[in-house]
């Protein structure tokens, strides 16, 4: 086996090990969403997501350096925890008659 063949074989083994490691990490840790993905999933505007973080509303998030990330499991749990209403009147009564923007 010549040097080129050995290098190619080493590269294939290395790529395989990286793939296995990535698969293991993917099983252990839920996917992370960036703000754009979070906003697409929730239908929120970027500015609303930023205000939610500032005032402690919205889904839990993590900070990685300067980056904000959302765990998919946390976003799903937060969405599931939101109350469900059959009408806007029912929703208004659930908030004491105040709209969300009037609470601050």
pLDDT in tens, 35-63: 999 999 999 999 999 999 999 999 999 99
pLDDT at position 42: 95
Give Cα separations from 89 to 11, 13, 51 (angstroms): 63, 62, 26
Q: Does the pTM of the predicted model rise above 0.75?
A: no
Q: How far is CA 47 from CA 28, 30, 44, 51, 90, in A?
A: 32, 25, 8, 6, 27
In sequence order, which residues have a C-beta less than 8 Å from that of residue 67 and are 6 or more positions away?
34
CB 32 within 8 A of CB 69: yes
Q: Residue 32 pLDDT more than 60?
A: yes
């Amino acid at each position: 086996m010549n040097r080129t063949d050995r290098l190619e074989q080493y590269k294939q083994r290395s790529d395989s090990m990286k793939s296995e490691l990535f698969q293991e990490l993917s099983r252990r840790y839920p996917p992370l969403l960036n703000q754009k993905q979070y906003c697409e999933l929730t239908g929120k505007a970027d500015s609303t997501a930023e205000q939610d973080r500032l005032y402690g509303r919205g889904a839990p998030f993590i900070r990685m350096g300067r980056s904000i990330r959302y765990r998919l499991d946390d976003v799903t749990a937060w969405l599931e925890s939101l109350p469900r209403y059959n009408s806007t009147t029912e929703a208004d009564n659930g908030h004491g008659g105040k709209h969300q923007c009037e609470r601050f």
